Structure 1
Amino acid sequence: MKIRVVSSKQEIDTLGQNEQIIHIAFRPSNTDIFSLVSKCPKVKALQVPPSYKKTISKSTKMFLNMQGIALVEGDVWGHRRDINEYSEISPAVYELIEQYRGEGLSDEEIEARMVQQVNMGPDLIRFILKNRK
């Protein structure tokens, strides 16, 4: 799965309509989020750093919820935007999920184990678990 990294407001206009997960690496305003959603009608999740998530208004959160778009807290560690505009989730993450599901673990147990094993936040792991059923 690819996560499109958006570093500035100006990049919103360069997004394709098929983007599904977008990491916002700047403090977005309500207008920025509405622009992202209208530019990318297939978006399933917006990921923002923890400090930015706290500043997103309740009305914007409600709008995203009504649109069925997850607001995910997290960072894209070690990503260099100058090399690639996407950050990819390793296939090993999906293999680990399948392994744990094969062992009969619940999603909550899988999340708890993966937070310790992979360099991903719990919100993103929850989103992946929910969308991999």
Structure 2
Amino acid sequence: MRIRVVSSREEIFTLNPNERLVHLAFRPSNKDIFGLVETCPKIEVIQLPKSYRRTVSKSIEMFLEMQRIQLLEGDVWGHRKDINEYYSIPSSVIEKIKEMKIEGRPAKEIEKKVSRESKLNPEMIAYILTKETPA
């Protein structure tokens, strides 16, 4: 599973229309988010750093909710954009989630444990849980 890292508003319009997970590494305006949704009609998740997430307007939150797009808080730790434009979620993390789900562990426990071990936020773990391991 890969997250497309976008580091500037100019980059939004060069994205592949099939992107599903996008991390915005800049403080987006409402116009930037509308542009992202328009450029990537299949988008499912927009991830923002904690400090930027708090500045998103209620109207954008409602718009994304109506479009069924999740707005998550989180970082892509240790990612270097100059080397690769995608942050790959390690397969070991996905395997750990699958193992715990097979063991019958509750979703909240999986989110908490894997989040602590992988530095991914619990919301992203919850998304992976629903996408990679259908019930």
Shorter-chain TM range is over 0.9
Report the AA paired with residue 43 of structure 2. V
- 2:108 equivalent to 1:108: yes
TM-score, normalised by the number of residues in structure 1: 0.97
Matches within 5 A, 1:12-51: 12-51=12-51
- Among the aligned pairs, what percent are the same residue? 52
The Cα shift of 1:14 comes to: 0.8
3-state SS in 2 of match to 1:22? strand
The structure 1 segments of at least 4 consecutive aligned residues displaced by more than 2 Å after TM superposition are none
**CA distance in 1: counterparts of 2:18 and 2:91, whole angstroms:** 21
**CA distance in 1: counterparts of 2:33 and 2:49, whole angstroms:** 14
**CA distance in 2: counterparts of 1:9 and 1:62, whole angstroms:** 21
**CA distance in 2: counterparts of 1:130 and 1:99, whole angstroms:** 14
TM-score, normalised by the number of residues in structure 2: 0.95
**CA distance in 1: counterparts of 2:52 and 2:61, whole angstroms:** 13
Summarize deviations over 1:23-61 as a string: whole Å, max 9, x none.
000000000000000000000000000000000000000
**CA distance in 1: counterparts of 2:75 and 2:35, whole angstroms:** 21
**CA distance in 1: counterparts of 2:62 and 2:78, whole angstroms:** 31
Q: Which runs of 5+ in 2 are unaligned?
A: none
Q: How many residues align?
A: 133
Counterpart contact for 2:111–2:123, Cα < 8 Å: no
**CA distance in 1: counterparts of 2:104 and 2:58, whole angstroms:** 37
